[in-house]
Amino acid sequence: MTDQIEMAELHGQPVLKLQTPDGAVALVSLFGAQVLSWTPAGGEDRLYLSPEAVFDGKTPIRGGVPVCFPQFASLGPLPKHGFARTQLWSVTDTRPGKDFTLVTLRLLDNAETRAEWPHAFAAEMSIAIGAGRLDIELEVENTGDAPFSFTAALHTYLKVKEVEAARIAGLRGLEYRDSADGDTSKLEMNDEVIIDDEVDRIYHGMPPALLVHEGHRTLGIHAENLPDVVVWNPWVDKCATLADMPADGFRRMLCVEAAAVREPVELAPGASWWGRQSLVAM
């Protein structure tokens, strides 16, 4: 480790603390390879971490950027969002630079994962901060002798001061699946999406950039090789059913996440795939 990358603990769980010379900071949990916090230089934390999140090394951590793999949500036979977020990943590379800091974590199939999903794989998460941005890349390799398919998402919880004041620009004209309304298919007709009720949507056709506006600040969201966009907020009633969220937690968070959901990724033996999401503070 270096002065830009150090091991630390958060609520008794191992985390990596990433820092850049200009003052940006991120916390990455080895449990789930999950970014828990990202503060651009001179700014505020842009990720929401529930104050009621459970840190027991078994329960998914509510907030940050959970990795959904090899299944998104309940769209398949596996437990919700798959097993990647509840596995302990190993650190394989650390790279401090003049204007960035990068860490790579790796997860291999094991007895526990094969009991749920009988495939050989290697997954890597590369996380880099610098220049007011957070870059997260998930790479998956089929290391077995049979093809497999999967869905995935980088389940990003954005921290907002008041969710009703947030506006998402860039989704107009996209078809989406509205899971809060019986999984019906709809077309986004608004220039900006405003959150004033439960929202659970999967938009198809990630645009070159999304912008999340909130008061005086804006966050740009860019994705490569992740063609879907999930927008989620549980609102009052569903938030009340989540034991690891405070009753008003829905007001302080908004999930806008790059994903590969509608068309599962198909990987032949020896093949690999990657998907990247970048957050840019403005």
**3-state per-residue secondary structure call for 86-132:** HCECEEEEEEECCCCEEEEEEEECCHHHHHHCCCCEEEEEEEEEECC
* Per-residue model confidence (pLDDT) at position 208: 86
131 falls in which pLDDT band (50, 70, 90)?
Answer: confident
Burial 99-124 (b: 16+ CB within 10 A, else e): ebbbbbbbbebeeebeeebebbbebb
CA proximity to 273, closest of 123, 147, 146, 136:
123
* Per-residue model confidence (pLDDT) at position 3: 81
User: For 27-73, what is each residue's pLDDT tens digit?
Assistant: 999 999 999 999 999 999 999 999 999 999 999 999 999 999 999 99
Cα three-residue angle 104-108-112, rounded to 5 degrees: 135
Average of per-residue pLDDT across 201-227: 95
CA proximity to 127, closest of 224, 17, 23:
17
SS3 of residue 233 by DSSP: strand
Instruction: Please state which architecture CATH assigns to domain 5-281.
Output: Distorted Sandwich (2.70)
User: For 136-182, what is each residue's pLDDT tens digit?
Assistant: 999 999 999 999 999 999 999 999 999 999 999 999 999 999 999 99
Q: How many CA atoms lie within 13 A of 83 on its CB side?
A: 20
104 falls in which pLDDT band (50, 70, 90)?
Answer: very high
The answer to whether 119 and 148 have CB atoms below 8 angstroms apart is yes
Q: What are the contacts of 10-16 at 24+ separation with CB within 8 A?
A: 10/36, 10/55, 11/55, 12/55, 13/55, 13/57, 16/91, 16/103
Pull the structure tokens for residue 230. Answer: 């999930």
Q: Give alpha helix (H) positions in the chain.
A: 111-116, 235-240
* Per-residue model confidence (pLDDT) at position 1: 64
Q: How many CA atoms lie within 13 A of 58 on its CB side?
A: 1
The predicted model scores a pTM of 0.97
What share of the chain has pLDDT > 90, as a percent? 96
| Distance separating alpha carbons of residues 43 and 26, to the nearest angstrom | 12
Active site residues: 155, 257
